[in-house]
């Protein structure tokens, strides 16, 4: 549990009712101020990293085939007690020490040795198991011998994850003079072009924005790229990202390039993997396709019709003082629930794709710093984000895709810590939850719920929710009215920032 959040007392139903009454007039104004302040603060940056492979040139030429994904690293006992045993450069060993990495995690033990030998890697391990360092360490180790600009490019599906990967490269490369930059949508193209002209070693990017720079930024090319990493590879290889990925892969070299694919849920579809143009890859798997960690306790709450908000507030009240991420299926639900939580004095912030990038980073910063104990997010926060203080993940809406479930609940119980996930299951979600239980290979136990408390909470929660919906509608109308007046100005700005995704 987060040490930052102070222990609070549970609220009674009457308290919640009178609280809702008392603060109704003031709260929406406060909430507006909160949100405005959140969205003014914070910034996002992008990173990308390039690394080259000297030793690889001494290896046997690799076969241009994907058929050997069966080339599996099957050594079950492969476990190293220290990073020194991996024969890394001293600067990296020291950086691991500085980060309090006392020994390699299982995926690091399994994938770093073949990676150091120059192999392409498919890495599969549970959420929070140290996959980022598993691909960053071999790249940085090679980079130390062969410092060239635009050496490695790491692709990630979300902007926040790209930024986080940059931070890992910067920490691990802190004693090596590594230069990295983050190239993601929603940020200024000109600033990014300037960063690229500084010839970073490592570029961490979201695919769309990287493509924009490859097409439009003079002097920038990845022709000499030595490493390409696809983090959350199954997501990057899916329908949405596939076409842009194909275009990127056409531009960058295949001959001298090493490719790593990492995820907690890897596709086994050969055609998808073929898209990544792997060469004789070694498969390093420390989990099966849909495995959650043992330190995660997963439960569900069966919610009768019309009571979802009440159950959520009940749950927040039960676990007061804990740090939580609440996942919703829609941006509007994320915004609404964040408002509802704040109105009832559970401090929350929203993260979703309708916010601009500064607002997204501002919300994440508030949550990470412990200034908000609840993050209400869409699946934009489902993959990769590493926030150690998260105690509980709540699925307010059950994800349609079982993979999303695995990634969402993996935002807690990371790096050996314990954590809990609770899924709110309505009558409409029964099929979805059965499918999730099937891939998990187990039934999820039900949470005990005090129905009397639910009944006494219901009216006040419904009332508060009504207030929030009214306020959201009012603001939307205002926004539409403002948007009409500003159309000319927005067009100009968009024209200046061509290709923004
Ligand atoms: N060898 C290590 N020893 C201790 N902690 C480590 C080690 N390697 C990584 N970590 C820490 O473990 C946490 C999780 O790592 P990381 O974010 O890379 O997980 P992941 O496997 O990529 O998860 P996800 O699938 O959710 O993206 C991070 O806080 C990281 O600093």
**Cα(130) to centroid of ligand 1, in Å?**
3
**Structure confidence at residue 300 (pLDDT):** 98
Closest ligand 1 atom to 168 CA: 31
**3-state secondary structure (DSSP) of residue 493:** helix
Q: Which carries the bigger pLDDT value, residue 494 or residue 391? A: 391
pLDDT (tens digit per residue) in 114-142:
999 999 999 999 999 999 999 999 999 99
**Cα(128) to centroid of ligand 1, in Å?**
5
Closest ligand 1 atom to 388 CA: 29
> Could you tell me how many residues make up the chain?
501
Please report which residue ranges of 65-124 form alpha helices under DSSP H: 90-98, 106-116
ipTM above 0.85, yes or no: yes
In whole angstroms, give the CA distance from residue 501 to residue 208.
7
Name the β-bridge partners of 419. 296
Q: Does residue 267 surpass a pLDDT of 80?
A: no
**Cα(309) to centroid of ligand 1, in Å?**
33
In whole angstroms, give the CA distance from residue 401 to residue 416.
26
**Cα(487) to centroid of ligand 1, in Å?**
44
* Average pLDDT, integer, range 270-289: 84
**Cα(390) to centroid of ligand 1, in Å?**
14
Positive or negative, the CA dihedral 464, 462, 17, 454 is negative
pLDDT (tens digit per residue) in 332-373:
999 999 999 999 999 999 999 999 999 999 999 999 999 999
Percent above pLDDT 90 for the chain: 74
Mean of all residue pLDDT scores within the chain: 85
**Cα(169) to centroid of ligand 1, in Å?**
12
**Cα(384) to centroid of ligand 1, in Å?**
9
The number of angstroms, rounded, from the C-alpha of 207 to the middle of its chain's C-alpha atoms is: 15
> If you ran DSSP here, which 8-state letter would residue 123 be given?
E
* Token pair for 306: 């019309």
Give residues with Cβ within 8 angstroms of 7, minimum separation 6.
321
**Cα(342) to centroid of ligand 1, in Å?**
31
Please report which residue ranges of 280-322 form alpha helices under DSSP H: 308-318
Closest ligand 1 atom to 129 CA: 21
Which residues line ligand 1 at a C-beta cut-off of 6 Å? 101, 104-105, 108, 125, 127-133, 264, 384, 386, 388, 410, 414-415
Name the β-bridge partners of 423. 300, 395
* From 13-17, 18-22, 202-206, 283-287, the region with the lowest mean pLDDT: 18-22
Which of 111, 130, 393 to mutate for ligand 1's pocket (most ligand atoms within 8 Å of CB)?
130
Which of 128, 385, 421 to mutate for ligand 1's pocket (most ligand atoms within 8 Å of CB)?
128
- Count of Cβ atoms closer than 10 Å to residue 88 Cβ: 20
Q: What's the pTM value of the predicted model, to 2 decimals?
A: 0.85
- Count of Cβ atoms closer than 10 Å to residue 2 Cβ: 16
For 402, the enclosing helix (H) or strand (E) is helix 402-409
For ligand 1, atom 3, which residue shows the shortest CA distance?
Answer: 101
For ligand 1, atom 16, which residue shows the shortest CA distance?
Answer: 130
**Structure confidence at residue 218 (pLDDT):** 95
């Amino acid at each position: 549990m987060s040490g930052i959040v102070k222990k609070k007392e549970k609220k009674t139903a009457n308290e919640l009712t009178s609280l809702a009454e008392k603060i109704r007039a003031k709260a929406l104004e406060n909430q507006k101020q909160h949100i405005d302040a959140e969205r003014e603060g914070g910034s996002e940056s992008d990173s990308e990293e390039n690394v080259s492979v000297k030793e690889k040139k001494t290896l046997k030429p690799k076969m241009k085939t994907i058929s050997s994904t069966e080339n599996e690293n099957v050594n079950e006992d492969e476990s190293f007690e220290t990073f020194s045993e991996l024969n890394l450069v001293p600067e990296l060993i020291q950086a691991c020490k500085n980060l309090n990495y006392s020994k390699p995690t299982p995926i690091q033990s399994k994938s770093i040795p073949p990676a150091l030998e120059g192999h392409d890697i498919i890495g599969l391990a549970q959420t929070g198991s140290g996959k980022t360092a598993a691909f960053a360490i071999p790249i940085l180790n090679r980079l130390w011998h062969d410092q060239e600009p635009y050496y490695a490019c790491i692709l990630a599906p979300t902007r926040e994850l790209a930024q986080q990967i940059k931070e890992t490269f910067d920490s691990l490369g802190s004693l090596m003079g590594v230069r990295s930059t983050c190239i993601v949508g929603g940020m200024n193209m000109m600033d990014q072009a300037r960063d690229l002209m500084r010839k970073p070693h490592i570029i961490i990017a979201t695919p769309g924005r990287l493509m924009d720079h490859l097409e439009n930024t003079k002097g920038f090319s990845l022709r000499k790229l030595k490493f390409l990493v696809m983090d959350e590879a199954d997501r990057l290889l899916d329908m949405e990202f596939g076409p842009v990925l194909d275009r990127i892969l056409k531009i960058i070299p295949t001959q001298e390039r090493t490719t790593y694919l990492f995820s907690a849920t890897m596709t086994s579809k050969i055609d998808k993997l073929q898209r990544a143009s792997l060469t004789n890859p070694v498969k390093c798997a420390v989990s099966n396709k849909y495995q959650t960690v043992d330190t995660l306790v997963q439960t569900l709450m069966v919610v009768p019709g019309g009571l979802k908000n009440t159950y959520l507030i009940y749950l927040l009240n039960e676990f007061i003082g804990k740090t939580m991420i609440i996942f919703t299926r829609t941006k509007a639900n994320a915004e609404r629930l964040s408002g509802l939580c704040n109105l009832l004095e559970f401090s929350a912030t929203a993260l979703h794709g309708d916010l601009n990038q500064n607002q997204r980073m501002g919300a994440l910063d508030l949550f990470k710093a412990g200034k908000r104990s609840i993050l209400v997010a869409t699946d934009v926060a489902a993959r990769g984000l590493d926030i150690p203080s998260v105690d509980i993940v709540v699925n307010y809406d059950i994800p349609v895709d079982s993979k999303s479930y695995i990634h969402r609940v993996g935002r807690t119980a990371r790096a050996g810590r314990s954590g809990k996930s609770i899924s709110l299951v309505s009558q409409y979600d029964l099929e979805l939850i059965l499918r999730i239980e099937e891939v998990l290979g187990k039934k999820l136990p039900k949470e005990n719920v005090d129905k009397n408390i639910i009944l006494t909470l219901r009216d006040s929660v419904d009332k508060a929710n009504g207030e929030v919906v009214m306020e959201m509608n009012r603001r939307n109308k205002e926004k539409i009215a403002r948007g009409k007046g500003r159309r000319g100005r927005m067009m100009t700005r968009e024209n200046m920032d061509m290709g923004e995704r």
